[in-house]
């Protein structure tokens, strides 16, 4: 008898499988056998209960066996025929992609030749005093961009299809050889005082399954849509077909152990004559926007509380060890977009959006696929975001702006009567627009902040562009208005003064 899988709860490294079904009871005691369960299930986790009906469940045993599969077995032949059909379909898809790529490249070559001819016509018209028109050239340029994007898409799709084709061929080659496969069954002893029907539920834990959260952010006309998916892997030996999938952040493998206590040994040492210091990058940590994504152990950041997400629809996850995305939920919110430039971190102007988690559940920490204007533009990551909390997303650099950042340092030798060494630092940022679009963005530089008296940092406000002053954390900010095809130059000057007995800086 087969009790189908009704519900699966996946944790970080295992799954709880629940089978449920109705059985026909006979008066007395009967044995029920459930075939094709996961061979690696944990025996001590098997638990059978009666959901409805007058029956009692006694012993539940796991029966395992190894079965050799020959290439000429009916089941093996059926699987081989399915593989052959998949291989043929994948090969046809490869040929179709190659033909589409060839057509796109041929059209691109024709367009380039036509564009060169049009440029010759423009030069001829200009030489003879006629007003040259560029409408045709703009049409050529727009079509060339479309074809370029299409060729890139086809190349990626061809690569993925080729990988799928090679995997299928490897599976087909393995199917021509005998294989030994482990199989398992569950045997239940059920007793009843009278004949009738009863609904039985069986649950057990099986390793070989895990999940991680993934998000897709789509930005369109100031509106941001966040769709959360669960990427599920499983190689348990049993396929999950049309099941209610639950995703839990519980980590049962950690267990609960008290912390180990160790002795702190204190030593007396002589005071050093020199002060050893070092420069380090210190993050300004605070909750909400601008909070830091801290490095954690591999796993899912759930904010310290176990969360359980439920798939939006009934899911199917085959036992192939490959990732399968299952939709969990989504929400739409308004986004505040602005362009920022942090030259000390990246020589680019980046689009950043600020938005709230408008969903009823938290956003778990994980990767985010970014989509704009109907296309994939990159990937970022987010920390744990509670409902109603504001968070940020970066959407990549602006290709129409070039940023150049350079640092000059000059160290002055101390005088005979002076015990201080002064290092003058000048940071210069050059920005230029490569197209005819006017831009406004925020640019931020940071100067060091000293934590000891023998090291002092002083900004030269008079020599700093716009006389912008650093705040308590050392940040100097400008609002830059870059004209179309224009240039800007910003300069920051400061001095680092240290005592002669300070080393390591």
220 and 322 housed in the same domain: yes
Is residue 261 in some structural domain?
no
Better-predicted residue by pLDDT, 7 or 26: 7
Query: In this predicted structure, what is the pLDDT of residue 390?
Result: 93
Both ends of the chain: CA-CA distance in Å? 75
Number of domains forming the structure of the chain: 4
| 127 has a pLDDT exceeding 90 | no
pLDDT digits (tens, 9 = 90+) for 141-171: 788 888 888 898 899 899 999 999 998 888 8
Query: In this predicted structure, what is the pLDDT of residue 293?
Result: 46
Query: In this predicted structure, what is the pLDDT of residue 296?
Result: 47
pLDDT digits (tens, 9 = 90+) for 29-45: 888 888 888 888 998 89
Average pLDDT over residues 409-413: 80
24 and 145 housed in the same domain: no
Locus of tokens 């920051």 = 492
409 and 489 housed in the same domain: yes
Query: In this predicted structure, what is the pLDDT of residue 288?
Result: 54
At residue 295 the predicted structure's pLDDT band, cuts being 50, 70 and 90, is very low
87 and 171 housed in the same domain: yes
| 132 has a pLDDT exceeding 60 | no
25 and 49 housed in the same domain: yes
Query: In this predicted structure, what is the pLDDT of residue 129?
Result: 58
* Rounded distance between C-alpha atoms, residue 15 and residue 213, angstroms: 16
Share of the chain above pLDDT 70, in %: 86
> Other CB atoms closer than 10 Å to residue 436's CB: what's the count?
10
Is residue 279 in some structural domain?
no
At residue 210 the predicted structure's pLDDT band, cuts being 50, 70 and 90, is very high
237 and 321 housed in the same domain: yes
Q: Which secondary-structure segment (H or E) carries 120?
A: helix 74-127
Task: Among 152, 175, 198, identify where a domain stops.
Answer: 175
| 425 has a pLDDT exceeding 80 | yes
Q: What 3 state SS string does 395-421 have?
A: EEECCCEEEEEEEEEEEECCCCCCCEE
Domain span at residue 432 reads 401-503
Share of the chain above pLDDT 90, in %: 43
Is residue 266 in some structural domain?
no
Is residue 473 in some structural domain?
yes
385 and 474 housed in the same domain: no
165 to 80, 90, 450: CA distances (angstroms): 15, 6, 59
Q: Return all residues near 282 (Cβ < 8 A) that are at least 6 apart.
A: 449
Average pLDDT over residues 86-110: 91
**428 is written with which tokens?**
């210069």
461 and 423 housed in the same domain: yes
| 67 has a pLDDT exceeding 80 | no
Nearest C-alpha neighbor of 201 from the set 25, 7, 10: 7
pLDDT digits (tens, 9 = 90+) for 223-275: 999 999 999 999 998 999 999 999 999 877 655 667 788 888 888 877 766 77
Is-contact 65 111, C-beta < 8 A?
no
353 and 414 housed in the same domain: no
Q: Which secondary-structure segment (H or E) carries 258?
A: none
pLDDT digits (tens, 9 = 90+) for 319-334: 888 899 999 999 999 9
CATH number for 62: 2.60.120
Is residue 268 in some structural domain?
no
Query: In this predicted structure, what is the pLDDT of residue 138?
Result: 75
């Amino acid at each position: 008898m087969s009790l189908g899988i009704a519900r699966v709860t996946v944790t970080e490294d295992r799954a709880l499988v629940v089978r449920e079904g109705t059985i026909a009871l006979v008066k007395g005691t009967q044995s029920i056998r459930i075939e094709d369960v996961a061979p690696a299930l944990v025996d001590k986790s098997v638990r059978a209960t009666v959901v409805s009906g007058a029956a009692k469940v006694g012993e539940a045993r796991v029966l395992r066996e190894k079965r050799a599969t020959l290439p000429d077995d009916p089941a093996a032949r059926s699987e081989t025929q399915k593989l052959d059909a998949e291989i043929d379909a994948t090969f046809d898809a490869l040929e179709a992609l190659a033909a589409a790529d060839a057509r796109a490249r041929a059209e691109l070559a024709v367009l380039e030749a036509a564009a060169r001819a049009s440029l010759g016509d423009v030069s001829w018209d200009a030489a003879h005093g006629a007003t040259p028109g560029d409408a045709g050239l703009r049409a050529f340029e727009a079509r060339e961009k479309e074809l370029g994007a299409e060729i890139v898409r086809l190349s990626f799709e061809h690569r993925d299809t080729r990988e799928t084709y090679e995997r299928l061929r490897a599976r087909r080659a393995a199917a021509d050889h005998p294989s030994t496969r482990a199989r398992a069954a569950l045997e239940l002893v059920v007793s009843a005082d009278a004949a009738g029907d009863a609904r039985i539920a069986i649950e057990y834990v099986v390793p070989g399954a895990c999940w991680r959260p993934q998000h897709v952010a789509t930005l369109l006309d100031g509106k941001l849509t966040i769709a959360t998916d669960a990427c599920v892997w499983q190689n348990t030996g049993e396929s999950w077909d049309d099941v209610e999938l639950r995703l839990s952040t519980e980590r049962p493998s950690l267990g609960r152990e008290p912390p180990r206590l160790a002795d702190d040994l204190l030593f007396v040492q002589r005071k050093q004559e020199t002060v050893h210091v070092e420069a380090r990058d210190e993050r300004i940590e605070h909750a909400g926007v601008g909070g830091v994504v801290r490095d954690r152990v591999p796993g899912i950041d759930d904010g310290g509380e176990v969360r359980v997400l439920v798939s939006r629809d009934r899911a199917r996850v085959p036992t192939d060890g490959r990732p399968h995305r299952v939709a969990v939920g989504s929400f739409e919110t308004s986004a505040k977009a602005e362009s920022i430039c942090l030259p000390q971190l990246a020589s680019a102007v980046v689009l950043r959006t600020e938005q709230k988690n408008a969903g009823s559940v938290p956003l778990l920490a994980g990767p985010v696929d970014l989509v704009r204007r109907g296309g994939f533009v990159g990937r970022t990551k987010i920390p744990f975001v509670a409902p109603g909390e504001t968070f940020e997303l970066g959407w990549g650099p602006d290709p129409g702006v070039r940023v150049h950042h350079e640092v000059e340092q000059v160290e002055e030798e101390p005088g005979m009567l002076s015990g201080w060494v002064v290092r003058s630092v000048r940071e210069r940022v050059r920005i230029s627009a490569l197209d005819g679009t006017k831009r406004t963005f925020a640019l931020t530089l940071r100067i060091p902040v000293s934590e000891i008296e023998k090291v002092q940092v002083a900004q030269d406000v008079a020599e700093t562009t716009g006389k912008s002053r650093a705040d308590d954390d050392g940040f100097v900010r400008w609002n830059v208005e870059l004209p179309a095809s224009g240039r800007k130059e910003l300069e920051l000057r400061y001095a680092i003064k240290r005592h002669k007995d300070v080393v390591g800086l």
